[in-house]
């Protein structure tokens, strides 16, 4: 709360880029993208606003560094199991990581940020696809589909609805005229559970992996079972 707690270095004669980025990440995780301003962060660190411009060219460069710092706490799963198990495990670990740092998703949406720190995971997943028998073109496309679904889920379907949201959604759906919206009304009791969260993410992920596997089998002449 007070300037000292942020870094324990209130004199600020020797901040590092990493210290600044870590403090920014803390604010972002706590209060979201809107909560972070240069003025605010400087205050938190106990330095003048313009001091930050000695470490970073501007806010964008700072945010890039924050994404790098955030990437470091990605927890890679053990590489055990077959093609399918590993693909699911890596995707789920990525999903959970993005939920811990929602601003990475928002930043990726505003403008493409490709940070080298995440390359390790990309390499692993791409290798899985190639090993499974997909050609490099097919593998590149499949990889990108997984990436798009992952980020889409993290942004548009991060969590299950709260009890209040469930009630509101159900009420909204059931208030629709029966003749025009029979399908929405029929699915209404299940809509809330499908809005997001781990189970919903896994459901879609399994669909996509099914599709990838079907394609894989189509490409390797003989379709092997499992």
Partner DNA sequence: ACCTGAACACCGTTCAAGT
Binding site for a second copy (CB under 8 A): 106, 108-110, 114, 119, 122-124, 126-127, 129-130, 136-137, 139-145, 147-153, 155-157, 172, 176, 180-184, 186-187, 189-191, 193-196, 200, 203-204, 206-212, 214-215
Q: Measured between alpha carbons, how far is 25 from 42 in angstroms, rounded to an integer?
A: 13
**Nearer Cβ to DNA, position 69 or 139?**
69
**Closest approach of DNA to the CB of residue 111, in Å:** 13
* Cα torsion 107, 163, 94, 41: sign: positive
Question: Least distance in Å: CB of 7 to DNA?
Answer: 13
Signed CA dihedral, 122, 152, 68, 112: sign only? positive
Instruction: State how far the Cα of 157 lies from the Cα of 129, in Å rounded to an integer.
Output: 25
State the nearest-atom distance from the C-beta of 9 to a second copy, in Å: 34
Do 4 and 11 form a contact (C-beta atoms < 8 A)? no
For DNA, what does the binding mask look like between residues 29 and 68, x meaning CB under 7 A?
A: -------xxxxx------xxxxx-xx---xxx--------
Rounded Cα distance between 99 and 197, Å, is 10
Name the residue nearer to DNA (CB basis): 49 or 175. 49
* Cα 185 from Cα 135, distance rounded (Å): 43
In the complex, the residues that contact DNA under the rule CB under 7 A are 12-15, 36-40, 47-51, 53-54, 58-60
């Amino acid at each position: 709360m007070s300037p000292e707690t942020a870094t324990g270095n209130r004199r600020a004669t020797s901040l590092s880029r990493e210290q600044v980025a870590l403090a920014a990440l803390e604010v972002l995780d706590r209060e979201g993208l809107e909560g972070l301003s240069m003025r605010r962060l400087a205050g938190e660190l106990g330095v003048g606003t313009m001091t930050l411009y000695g470490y970073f060219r501007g806010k964008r460069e700072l945010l890039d560094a924050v994404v790098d710092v955030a990437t470091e706490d990605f927890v890679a799963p053990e590489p055990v199991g077959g093609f399918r198990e590993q693909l699911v495990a890596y995707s789920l670990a990525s999903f959970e990581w993005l939920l811990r740092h929602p601003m990475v998703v928002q930043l990726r949406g505003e403008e493409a940020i490709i940070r080298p720190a995440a390359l390790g995971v990309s390499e692993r997943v791409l290798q899985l696809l190639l090993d499974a028998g997909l050609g490099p073109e097919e593998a590149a496309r499949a990889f990108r589909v997984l990436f798009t679904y992952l980020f889409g889920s993290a942004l548009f379907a991060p969590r299950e609805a709260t009890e209040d949201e469930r009630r509101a959604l159900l009420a909204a759906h059931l208030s629709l005229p029966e003749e025009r919206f029979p399908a929405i009304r029929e699915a209404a009791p299940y809509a809330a559970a499908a809005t997001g969260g781990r189970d919903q993410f896994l459901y879609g992920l399994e669909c996509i992996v099914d599709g990838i596997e079907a394609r894989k089998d189509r490409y390797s002449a003989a379709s092997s079972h499992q």
